[in-house]
Structure 1
Amino acid sequence: MAKSDDQQDIPVWAYEKIELKNPDPLWMDKGNQEKEELFHLLSRFGVKQVEHIGSTAIPHLPAKPIIDLMASVSSFEEVDQIAERLYLHHWHHVPPELDKQPWRRFFVKVKNDKRTAHLHLMLDGEERWEKQLNFRDKLRENPHLVEEYANIKYKLAQEFQNDREKYTEAKAEFIGKVLRE
């Protein structure tokens, strides 16, 4: 099927299928490497903390093999300079009008046309920061939650294999339940 004119400039990685992989202990090491590299790249912009979040930050949890990270800044004023700096290291800025998440600026690290990492750049004090950490930490502490989340993820990955947004939205109920506990 030929791409329409509107789709000519859309990168291959933007529409990757959702493929969950068995837990890989190396994800923690990769997360730490990415954290260190991002801290080094972004500290000049006032970033004081980078965190490995998401499923690859939780031992024994199947995941898309994409390292999710978050970092905070005092404002988004320098996001263009941040994007230029990160681009030199294979990070691609997803413009807010495409990301549709006004609370963050989103970057995707790509290697061989595949996503390898995501960066959620947030403003200092963003409420999602603590929620991300709380969710990660609650799963790290509770193997039963990990098992339950794994089952949900497998089911949703099958159901929404070609729709990342719907896959993410469908996980929200479980995430909310964990955060309320």
Structure 2
Amino acid sequence: MKKTLSEMTLEELWELFPIILKEHNPEYEKWYLIEKEDIIRHIGQKNIKRINHIGSTSVEGLIAKPTIDILLELDNDCNLEWLKSTLTGMGWLLMSSENESDMRMAFNKGYTPDGFDEKVYHLHVRYHGDWNELYFKDYLREHSEVAEEYGLLKKLLWKKFEHNRDGYTDAKTEFIMKYTNIARACYGDRYSPDATGCKENKQQ
């Protein structure tokens, strides 16, 4: 009998879901917008401070894992147990949940016992904050030469870490943090909850 995902070891999961890189698909933005509207419809605008398409699929022309990453920032008064129940009812699978210092939850869709589905999503749920991913995304969008350098780095790491997602992520961290810090210096506090003009960046 075939194992369910929850019964598989980490090594088995990495084997079933290897690192795959593909050229940019212009449909990614459409997939994100459809999912965004579904989240807003179920969660309610009053509970959402900001929602954004993040990660490499949000950067036109950038090679990427074909996974749509969504950052959902919540109002601090949102009922988290209700949120979990609502998202799982929508077909999202809760992968991790932390509440020690900063609340972080990770959900996904598109992972099956037979491998990847046609569309794959990661949903990163946090309270409204000044998150690095937003700065890095903007910097790559506005600096094509850095996006190209990032794409080359990913290609170099791809086969080495094809079945080691944690290793792949760790190997990119130095590059990501270098340009995230440059972006923060360049953009100031554009994504801070208290920043002037924050509303203009509320949802992308």
TM bracket, shorter-chain basis:
0.7 to 0.9
TM-score (normalised: structure 2): 0.73
Contact 2:50 2:128 in 1 (8 A): no
What are the equivalent positions in structure 2 for 1:26-175 lying under 5 Å apart? 26-43=27-44, 46-75=47-76, 78-96=79-97, 103-110=103-110, 112=112, 113-114=115-116, 116-125=120-129, 127=130, 129=131, 131-175=132-176
CA distance in 1, matches of 2:173, 2:164: 15
| Offset, 1:157 | 1.7
CA distance in 2, matches of 1:46, 1:107: 17
CA distance in 2, matches of 1:150, 1:101: 33
State the Cα RMSD in Å: 2.9
CA distance in 1, matches of 2:8, 2:36: 27
Question: In the superposition, relative to structure 1, how do residues 124 and 110 fare at CA in structure 2: closer, same or farther (>3 Å)?
Answer: same
Contact 1:90 1:111 in 2 (8 A): no
Structure 2 alignment gaps of length 5 or more: 183-204
- The C-alpha deviation readout for 1:29-78, integer Å capped at 9, x for no partner, is 11222222222222267113210000000000011111000111234973
| Offset, 1:156 | 1.5
Secondary structure at 1:159 match in 2: coil
Alignment partner for residue 9 of structure 1, among 3, 7, 24? Answer: 7
**Count of aligned positions:** 172
Structure with larger Rg: 2
1:9 corresponds to which letter in structure 2?
E
TM-score (normalised: structure 1): 0.82
CA distance in 1, matches of 2:101, 2:67: 19
CA distance in 2, matches of 1:65, 1:38: 20
| Offset, 1:89 | 2.2
